[in-house]
Structure formats: C-alpha cells, structure tokens
Amino acid sequence: MTDTDTIFGKIARGDIPADIVYEDDEVVAFRDLNPQAPTHVLIIPRKPIPTLNDATEEDAPLIGKLLLAAARLAKEFGFAEDGYRTVVNCNANGGQTVYHLHVHLIGGRPLQWPPG
C-alpha cells in the first residue's frame, strides 16, 4: 500500500464495493456512504491525486471532466435546474478526510450558504 492507495483508490479498482452511478476510463462516481442531502455523489479520477494542491497543469482536462460529470449527473438526477452544490475539500482545514481528490455533488434539497 502506498500513501496514495486510499479507500477511493480501492473503489476505483473495484477492490471494494460502492454504489457506482457512473464510470469511464478516467472517472468514477459513486454514492457517498454518509449522504448530506437526498443525492450525494463523489466523483473521482482513477488517477490517485491526493489533494487539489497536488494537481498539475497536466491534470487540467481531467479535473474539467470531474466537473462536467457532476453537471451531467445533476441533469440525470433531475435537479440541475433547481440547483446543487459541487465541493472540493482540501486538507485538514478544508475538511478533507480521504486523500484521493474528489468532487462532492450534493443536491435534492435547498442548501445553506455559507456551509459552516
């Protein structure tokens, strides 16, 4: 196991189960185990980038794909027009707990801002 071999890496490889809602050769999206709204999905790159701080210029298209997957899924879940939130937590103060870059897609109810 390396530093970058997190639970999300295992989900991306199919080594542990998850409720996967979308996957392709670069991106996997699955339901959060502890949902904060009626729909709460995590969208990850298969590439194990630990945090947003570790992303490079080379990763720009991949990060774009994470956000575009979020928008597509929001449409599929039927809340794109009502609205939703995408969040990337970074490191301790950002509340990151799993060190494999991920975008939270949260929707299905009105969300407070600021989140606290």
Identify whether 100 is a catalytic site residue.
no
Q: Nearer to ligand 5GP by C-beta: 62 or 98? A: 98
14 binds ligand 5GP (CB under 6 A): no
Q: Which of 27, 6, 25 is nearest to 16 (CA)?
A: 6
Question: Which residues lie closer than 8 Å to 35 by C-beta, 6 or more apart?
Answer: none
Which residue among the candidates 40, 100, 102, 104 is catalytic per the annotation?
Answer: 102
63 binds ligand 5GP (CB under 6 A): no
- Least Å distance, CB 16 to ligand 5GP, is 7
Beta strand spans in 17-91 (E): 20-23, 27-31, 39-45, 84-87
Q: H/E element holding 91?
A: helix 91-94
Interacting residue ranges for ligand 5GP, rule: CB under 6 A: 7, 18, 30-34, 42, 89, 95-98
